[in-house]
Amino acid sequence: MAKAGFWAIDPTRKISFGKDGWWYANDERIHNRRINLLFSQHLRKTAEGTHEIAIGWDRVTVEIDDTPYVITRVSGDAEQGFTLRLNDESEEALDPHTLHVGQEHVLYCRVKGQAHPARFLRPAYYQLTAYMEEDSTTRSYMLKVGDRLFPIDAVEPQNSELP
């Protein structure tokens, strides 16, 4: 009996996740938000370190342009802390120790138990920058959470994958 497959995860097609938070099939953006969510919710890292979409028995290796997750929204405040919403619609607390600025002045942090890097999309970036302060002597930025100021490093902290 032939199994019913889903054409978009056909292994003959190139599937990629863009730094803009959208999925692509053969370099064409997938506009259907439900398909984007489906792919994001079924993204897995393999033992070899690559990423794949796994839906039922179907598997396809995907290319990740920058990070496997993007942050779509930030909620909360400096007193209570911040909650991140990711492209797979999961939510988790921001660990301010993991904030860093990468190439092209892009803000990143670690998510999913610090297992993966995530890129802040522009709206989420601006939601968080409202709570940042500049140190005028070092010209660096810090995020205030509770009574603490967390420096936002220009490079990612040690012992983590790029970016």
DSSP string, 56-91: TTEEEEEEESS-SEEEEEEEEETTTEEEEEETTS-E
Residue 9's pLDDT band, with cuts at 50, 70 and 90, is low
> Cα–chain-centroid distance for residue 77?
20
More confident residue, 37 or 2: 37
pLDDT of 4 > 90? The answer is no
pLDDT of 116 > 60? The answer is yes
Domain-wise residue ranges, the chain: 13-64, 69-151
**pLDDT tens-digit series, residues 92-114:** 999 999 999 998 889 999 999 99
CATH classification for the domain delimited by 13-64, as one of 3.90.190.20, 3.10.540.10, 3.90.870.10, 1.10.1040.50? 3.10.540.10
CA dist 2 and 5 (Å) reads 9
CA dist 131 and 144 (Å) reads 6
pLDDT of 52 > 70? The answer is yes
Share of residues in the chain with pLDDT > 70 (%): 87
**pLDDT tens-digit series, residues 14-30:** 899 999 999 999 999 99
Looking at residue 41, its pLDDT comes to 96
pLDDT of 118 > 90? The answer is yes
pLDDT of 33 > 90? The answer is yes
Q: Tell me the pLDDT of the chain averaged across its residues.
A: 88
pLDDT of 154 > 90? The answer is no
Dihedral, CA of residue 65, residue 71, residue 73 and residue 75, to nearest 10: -170
